[in-house]
Amino acid sequence: MWSARGRHTGPAAQDVLRRGLRRHKDDGALDDFLELPRGEDAQHWTFEARWRVAGTVTVRARLTVEHDTGSAQDWTLVAEAEAPWDPRWPSPASLFWPARDEADWARDVATGLRLADVNALPEDDKAVRRVLRDAVRDGWSVHVVVHEAMTTGRAGRDPLAAKVPPGLRHRVVEHRAAPGQLRVVNWALRESGVEVPRGGAVVLPGTPAPSGYDAEDFSVRSVFLDGTEPAELIHAVTRYAALARPLPDGAGEALTALREEWRLLTLREELERERGLVAMYAEALEAMTNSRDLYREAAEQAHAALAAFRESADTLTERPSGAPAPSPLQQFTRTFERLKASARPRKDVPGSREPHTDAVTDASAARRTAAPDRQAP
């Protein structure tokens, strides 16, 4: 997945998005896009877009932008591909917003600074501490602090974002420290446990810091600001972006909405969705039928138990006076035992006889034996 958060500082961000999406679809960069219907009490506009990368990999993305407050509108964008995300793929933000308006919409929410551009640190020391403190607390963007060992020329003002892989372009915030600001920068960063080398750079850990982050691994000793490609710094930024880390605040909800509330379906997806609904309804109907049969069986058992209880009550009313009264619960239990015994198949044991029959037979034999003795003279 890919996620980013930014701020649009121009007027009517929703109109800018509509123009950008329409232009990208006409150019063939997008397969399709959709603006979701908005209720009267909705707090944001929502746009969905779908495109393909690497020829066959489909990417689905969802962008929400807050209501127009008159000064700035924050936006949140999450995208998910059918394959592991490749930073060489285009930035999803560039497929929603028009490129010519980048200065208006490509702003970092935490610091208010420009994405994909160079941001010189303020001259005031307190302002420097405030900016870097907000940068360290940010969990959405990748913040990089670069120290200029000496005043650079025009070639040294090229932004780092123009040289990193395209997928990172709108996730990188580059802070530039002037030659005399090294001490105040490192003083402001001391609580985060990182330090900027003289003439070098460091990738800030963010909040929360990714698993496996080590300040030494993401520090670059020397960055040549002469127009050449800072390969070591680009490698550090790319490695940092690939680290596993918890989703920032709000990204989890946005990702869930992308997966569960997706509306921009192809015909095949609509057919699969309808088939899934039919299967779900069939399972629900089968479960209801089974439940009905179980309830019917339980009702029949309850009626049988009630009849047995009434029989027990009738037996109690016919009891002779003076006889001990059995407990209704005992009588109810005995009735159930009698019902269970009658339901069991009876087994005949060879050689078994009733005790009463054996006693009668033994008595008759005794009388026949004693009879001749009484007839003797």
pLDDT digits (tens, 9 = 90+) for 148-167: 988 788 878 889 999 999 99
Q: How far apart are alpha carbons 77 and 248 in whole angstroms?
A: 12
Quick one: DSSP state of residue 107?
B
8 Å CB contact between 51 and 59: yes
**CA R_g for the chain:** 42
Question: In what side-by-side order are the strands of the sheet with 44-53?
Answer: 2-8, 73-81, 57-66, 44-53, 32-35
Q: What is the pTM for the complete model shown?
A: 0.72
Could you tell me which residues come within 8 angstroms of residue 230 by beta carbon, excluding any fewer than 6 positions away? Answer: 160, 163, 201, 220, 223, 224
- pLDDT of residue 338 exceeding 80, the answer is no
Higher pLDDT, 178 or 11: 178
Domain ranges of the chain: 1-103+250-281, 108-245
Q: What share of the chain is helix, strand, coil (3-state, %, to 5)?
A: 45, 15, 35
- pLDDT of residue 217 exceeding 70, the answer is yes
| pLDDT tier at 320, thresholds 50, 70, 90 | low
Average the pLDDT over each of 14-23, 27-36, 228-237, 329-338 and give the range with the smallest value.
329-338
> What is the rounded end-to-end Cα distance, in angstroms, of the chain?
122
Give the residue carrying structure tokens 């039919």.
278
Burial class of 239 by CB neighbour count within 10 A (0 to 12, 13 to 18, 19+): middle
Q: Which residues of 279-297 are buried (b: 16+ CB within 10 A; e: fewer)?
A: eeeeeeeeeeeeeeeeeee
* CB atoms near residue 12 (< 10 Å): 11
Average pLDDT over residues 225-251: 91
Dihedral pair phi/psi, residue 237, rounded to 5°:
-65, -40
Q: How far apart are alpha carbons 65 and 361 in whole angstroms?
A: 103
CATH of 108-245, one of 3.55.40, 1.20.1410, 3.40.1350, 3.40.30: 3.40.30
Q: Treating both helix axes as pointing N-terminal to C-terminal, what angle do 267-317 and 328-343 enclose, rounded to 10 degrees?
A: 110
Report the C-alpha dihedral over residues 206, 212, 216, 219, rounded to 10 degrees.
Answer: -50
Q: Domain 1-103+250-281, what architecture?
A: 2-Layer Sandwich (3.30)
| pLDDT tier at 97, thresholds 50, 70, 90 | very high
Q: What angle do CA 145, 148, 153 make, to 5 degrees?
A: 125
Q: Which residues of 97-130 are buried (b: 16+ CB within 10 A; e: fewer)?
A: bbeebbebbbbbbbbebbbbbbbebeeeeeebbe
pLDDT attached to residue 323:
52
- pLDDT of residue 231 exceeding 60, the answer is yes
Supply the mean pLDDT for the chain: 84
Give the residue carrying structure tokens 């921009």.
264
Structure token pair of residue 45: 């506009």
Average pLDDT over residues 264-280: 81
- pLDDT of residue 339 exceeding 60, the answer is no
The bridge status of strand 73-81 relative to strand 118-120 is unpaired
